[in-house]
């Protein structure tokens, strides 16, 4: 290189022309390969999620999120719902292992996401991730609509998901369900017994009153929604939450939304990649596969993805790595753009 007048360090990139000149010098022919371009195209194709053919779609269980103001009884309601699960066969409901659970009502499955509080909901929406099919809005009958109730209504409306109102704490002396309905109508939610089409259920999470009634309504709304997915395509879904476990490495709870995820599948989750080493269901049991509308904890990722990240199954480890790299690159660019925008704005502010 030096003889040719190119001063290059050992880790410096040189042009194809120069490299081929050197090769000629040593009796080799350097051929320009276009494999990198093919890979680029393949990666882009793999990052796109193919549209489903109507004929491949099968009914899938609804994914439900519980939202509402602080202390209105979200956790209590989830506990009550889990207690109602007669098929689990475990006294006092099930111990929860992941940020999601499943219940069976009259032989039909309902998936409950426990994590998406308002913040998670917001961050997922910001990434275009839609995980919930139905929102249960908990309103305490003795407290009525509060700021976070309004926030939750706005989240659900923006996401375009149906809302079922759970008027909770009807066992309390100060309970006033009618006032809640009045306040809901002020928010543009007219419940059925007020002549509207919003379903509301009066219940008590604590006293376990009318929990079945609520679940029946969830199934009713789900039926109307005609929720479907193709279980046969490559698995896609969303990361619900993830953390670094001391013993197990990166652990992510994902919701499979299409296709079927299996142990051994190479996947990309956000900027993380890897092979699914193990899957654990909401009961803490190991499973070999997870179809549409199933939440599972997965092990085997290279790093910890973020809540709201999309995960997708890919053909092999190499593709997984390349796509993760590509995503990292895209994310860096986005961040750079965002930070330069901020600094420009700051600059103008200062001027």
Chain residues that interact with ligand GTP, rule: CB under 6 A: 68, 70-76, 168-169, 171-172, 204-206
Which single residue brings its beta carbon nearest to Mg ion? 75
Q: How far is the CB of 295 from ligand GTP (least distance, A)?
A: 19
Q: Which does 76 bind (CB under 5 to 8 A by kind): ligand GTP, Mg ion, none?
A: ligand GTP
Reading the block at residue 82, the tokens are: 């889990």
Q: Which does 216 bind (CB under 5 to 8 A by kind): Mg ion, ligand GTP, none?
A: none
Q: How far apart are CA 18 and CA 12, in angstroms?
A: 13
Contact call for residue 75 and Mg ion (CB under 5 A): yes
Q: How far is the CB of 79 from ligand GTP (least distance, A)?
A: 7
Q: Which does 302 bind (CB under 5 to 8 A by kind): ligand GTP, Mg ion, none?
A: none
Whichever of 74 and 82 has its CB closer to Mg ion, that residue is: 74
Reading the block at residue 133, the tokens are: 């099919």
Whichever of 172 and 179 has its CB closer to ligand GTP, that residue is: 172
Q: How far is the CB of 162 from Mg ion (least distance, A)?
A: 22
Whichever of 74 and 155 has its CB closer to Mg ion, that residue is: 74
Whichever of 75 and 316 has its CB closer to Mg ion, that residue is: 75
| Residue 253 burial class via C-beta count within 10 angstroms: exposed 0-12, middle 13-18, buried 19 and up | buried
How many residues bind Mg ion, per CB under 5 A?
A: 2
Q: Which does 72 bind (CB under 5 to 8 A by kind): ligand GTP, Mg ion, none?
A: ligand GTP
Contact call for residue 119 and Mg ion (CB under 5 A): no
Q: How far is the CB of 149 from ligand GTP (least distance, A)?
A: 11
Q: Which does 70 bind (CB under 5 to 8 A by kind): Mg ion, ligand GTP, none?
A: ligand GTP
Q: Which does 212 bind (CB under 5 to 8 A by kind): Mg ion, ligand GTP, none?
A: none
Q: How far is the CB of 167 from Mg ion (least distance, A)?
A: 17
Whichever of 141 and 299 has its CB closer to ligand GTP, that residue is: 141
Whichever of 65 and 281 has its CB closer to ligand GTP, that residue is: 65
Q: How far is the CB of 206 from ligand GTP (least distance, A)?
A: 3
Q: What is the 3-state secondary structure (H, E, C) of the chain?
A: CCCCCCCCCCCCCCCHHHHHHHHHHCCCCCCCCCHHHHHHHHHHHHHCCCCCCHHHCEECCCEEEEEECCCCCHHHHHHHHHHHCHHHCCCCCCCCCCCEEEEEECCEEEEEECCCCHHHHHHHHHCCCCCCCEEEEEEECCCCCCHHHHHHHHHHHHHCCCEEEEEECCCCCCCCHHHHHHHHHHCCCCEHHHCCCEEEEECECCCCECHHHHHHHHHHHHHHHCCEECCCCCCEEEEEEEEEECCCEEEEEEEEEECCEECCCEEEECCEEEEEEEEECCCCCEECEECCCEEEEEEEECCCCCCCCEEEECCCHHHHHHHHHHHHHHHHHHHHHHHHHHHHHHHHHHC
Contact call for residue 95 and Mg ion (CB under 5 A): no
Whichever of 139 and 322 has its CB closer to ligand GTP, that residue is: 139
Q: Which residues bind Mg ion (CB under 5 A)?
A: 74-75
């Amino acid at each position: 290189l030096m003889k040719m007048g190119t001063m290059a360090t050992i880790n410096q990139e040189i042009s194809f022309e120069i490299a081929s000149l050197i090769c000629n010098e040593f009796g080799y022919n350097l051929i320009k390969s276009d494999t990198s371009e093919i890979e680029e195209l393949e990666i882009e194709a793999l990052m796109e999620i193919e549209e489903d053919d109507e004929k491949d779609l099968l009914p899938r269980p609804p994914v439900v999120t519980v939202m509402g103001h602080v202390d209105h009884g979200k956790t209590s309601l989830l506990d009550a719902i889990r207690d109602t699960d007669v098929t689990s066969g475990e006294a006092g409901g099930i111990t929860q292992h992941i940020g999601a659970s499943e219940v069976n009502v009259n032989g039909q499955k309902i998936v409950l996401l426990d994590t998406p509080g308002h913040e998670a909901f917001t961050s997922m929406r910001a990434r275009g991730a839609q995980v919930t099919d139905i929102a249960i809005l908990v309103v305490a009958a003795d407290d009525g609509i509060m700021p976070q109730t309004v926030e939750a209504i706005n989240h659900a409306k923006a996401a375009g998901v149906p809302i079922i109102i759970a008027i909770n704490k009807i066992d309390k002396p100060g309970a006033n369900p009618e006032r809640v309905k009045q306040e809901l109508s002020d928010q543009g939610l007219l419940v059925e017994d007020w002549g509207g089409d919003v379903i509301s259920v009066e219940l008590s999470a604590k006293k376990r009153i009318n929990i079945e009634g609520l679940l029946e309504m969830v199934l009713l709304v789900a039926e109307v929604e005609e929720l479907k997915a193709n279980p046969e395509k490559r698995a896609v879904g969303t990361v619900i939450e993830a953390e670094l476990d001391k013993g197990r490495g990166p652990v992510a709870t994902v919701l499979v939304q299409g296709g079927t995820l299996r142990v051994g599948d190479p996947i990309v989750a956000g900027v993380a990649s890897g092979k699914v080493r193990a899957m654990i269901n909401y009961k803490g049991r190991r499973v070999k596969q997870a179809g549409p509308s199933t939440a599972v904890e997965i092990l085997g990722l290279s790093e910890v993805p973020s809540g709201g990240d999309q995960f997708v199954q890919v053909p092999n480890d190499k593709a997984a790595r390349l796509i993760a790299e590509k995503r990292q690159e895209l994310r860096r660019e986005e961040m750079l753009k965002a930070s330069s925008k901020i600094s420009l704005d700051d600059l103008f502010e200062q001027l």
